[in-house]
Amino acid sequence: MIKYFLQSSLVASLLFTTACAQGKKSFEVVKEQSGIEELKLSRVDIKSLKKDNSGAYILFDGSSLNGWRGYNKEYVPNKWNIDNGTLKFSKNPNVDKPEGGDIVFVYDFKNFELTFDWKISEAGNSGVFFLAKEIKGQPIYISSPEFQILDNEKHPDAKMGVDGNRKSASLYDMIPAKPQNAKPAGEWNTSKIVVKGNTIQHFQNGVKVVEYTVRTKEWTELLQASKFSKEKWPMAFELLNNVGGVTKSGLIGFQDHGDDVWYRDMKVKVLK
């Protein structure tokens, strides 16, 4: 495990050498004023993954959870399972000692196009995370933007926030998805998230519904107007203000919000 300390200003990046039982190895450490600790757990070799005809990596083929594990865990919590070729979070799975928690695909993506299908249970809530870091003792959304997954008709979150910015495909609590074209609970939606440099786009059912630019003055202002403001949640503000940290990359994750949700056809095309 390598520990990183991220810095909001990102002004101190030094190469340190550390001794281990097998000898010496080097790693980059970025010191931060607040001393936020990032866990570096297992990663997958992306070259081992299958590709589709377009060159996109297949993150989930409907038969295996290879490359997946729980956030801040080295195993897949058993509330997540394969259900008829889908990745399902089950609120009440038929297993002994059910355990939940968010799930992540263990590769740090930087510039990419993530496509996936999803359907939500009645009055259900979930979310998709990206550029996420694993912060010790903290939830995944402290460091990651969230593509909201929601039953807009029956979940109370749809009526909260500002101007619908907690409805499906929105940048959660920050930018509403417009037009709002989600299908009802129990029906499949197709979605896409595109990250290219500082620009991020959300697509829902074939339509671009959100676009924003991170690591800018405008991004900071959006954070300040949200639940992640510097005053309300200083650590989240610091991490999200410099989303992706020094490498500008991070994990893709899916949320356990306590409701049944299904995902399928998850693919990533790496962009230059």
**What digits encode the pLDDT tens for the residues 123-160?**
999 999 999 999 999 999 999 999 999 999 999 999 99
Residue 58 scores a pLDDT above 70: yes
pLDDT, tens digit, 9 for 90 and up, residues 249-268:
999 999 999 999 999 999 99
Give residue 23's pLDDT: 37
Mean pLDDT of the 60-71 span: 96
CB 54 within 8 A of CB 269: yes
Location of structure tokens 């998230």: 193
| Six token digits for residue 70 | 């729980």
How many Å apart are CA 243 and CA 132, to the nearest integer? 8
Residue 115 CB-half CA count within 13 A: 15
The yes-or-no verdict on residue 19 having pLDDT over 90 is no
- Is 261 exposed, middle or buried (CB count within 10 Å of its CB: 0-12, 13-18, 19+)? buried
pTM above 0.85, yes or no: yes
The band of 40, judged by pLDDT with boundaries at 50, 70 and 90, is confident
Phi, psi of 224 (to 5 degrees): -65, -25
Percent of the chain with pLDDT over 90: 86
Alpha carbon 217 to its chain's center: 23
* Calpha distance 80→61 (Å, rounded): 15
Mean pLDDT score, 99-111: 98
Residue 217 has pLDDT above 50, yes or no: yes
**Contact assessment for residue 261 and residue 119, using Cβ atoms and an 8 Å cutoff:** yes
Query: 139 CB contacts (<8 Å, ≥6 apart)?
Result: 71, 102
Exposed, middle or buried: residue 116 (CB in 10 Å: 0-12, 13-18, 19+)? Answer: buried
Mean pLDDT within 12-33: 33
**Could you report how far apart the first and last alpha carbons of the chain are, in Å?**
28
pLDDT of residue 4 exceeding 80: no
How far does CA 270 lie from the centroid of its chain?
16
Q: How confident is the model at residue 111 (pLDDT cuts 50, 70, 90)?
A: very high
**CATH dotted code for 46-270:** 2.60.120.560
Does residue 193 have a pLDDT over 70?
yes
